Amino acid sequence: MNDILTKPRKVYVTRTVEFNAAHRLFNPEFSEEKNLKMYGSCSNLYGHGHNYEAEITVSGMVDRATGFLMDLKELKALLEKEVTERFDHKHLNYDVAELSNTVPSTEILAVTVWDILADALAEHPNKNLTLHEVRINETRKNSVRYLGE
């Protein structure tokens, strides 16, 4: 079956999830003036919100028997549990334990999502499967990519 796979074929599979969350960019070690200069209106006491998109890419060799790298239903369920449920309609500064002692920038969010998913995927039976990239789109014009480096 799947004769095209007579040699190993590495593929990259991406799934996108969306979540809405608020955050405040503020470093308590900085003065109010320095926070305002560094983060501008994003340092507002009450925070502000975004409609985030998280694009998660996994990579590895296609399984010859199934024709899959990973069943997309399984990837969807994993991202729902580990990303959407954790971050959707939350204030990142206060409601997400992994971000409690951070300035929850999009960069920090991307690294945090990576760490969460890397741990979850380590339990996957396909040891050929690896997390390749986490891309967080904060707006249509601003995004952060993290490759685990």
| Catalytic sites, residue numbers | 42, 89, 138
* Residue 23 annotated as part of some ligand binding site: yes
Question: In the sheet where 10-23 sits, what is the strand order?
Answer: 90-91, 10-23, 48-61, 130-137, 143-146
* Residue 132 annotated as part of some ligand binding site: no
Of the candidates 134, 137, 138, the residue with the CA atom closest to the CA atom of residue 148: 134
Number of H helices, E strands in the chain: 5, 5
Binding residues: 23, 48, 50
Binding residues for Zn(2+): 23, 48, 50
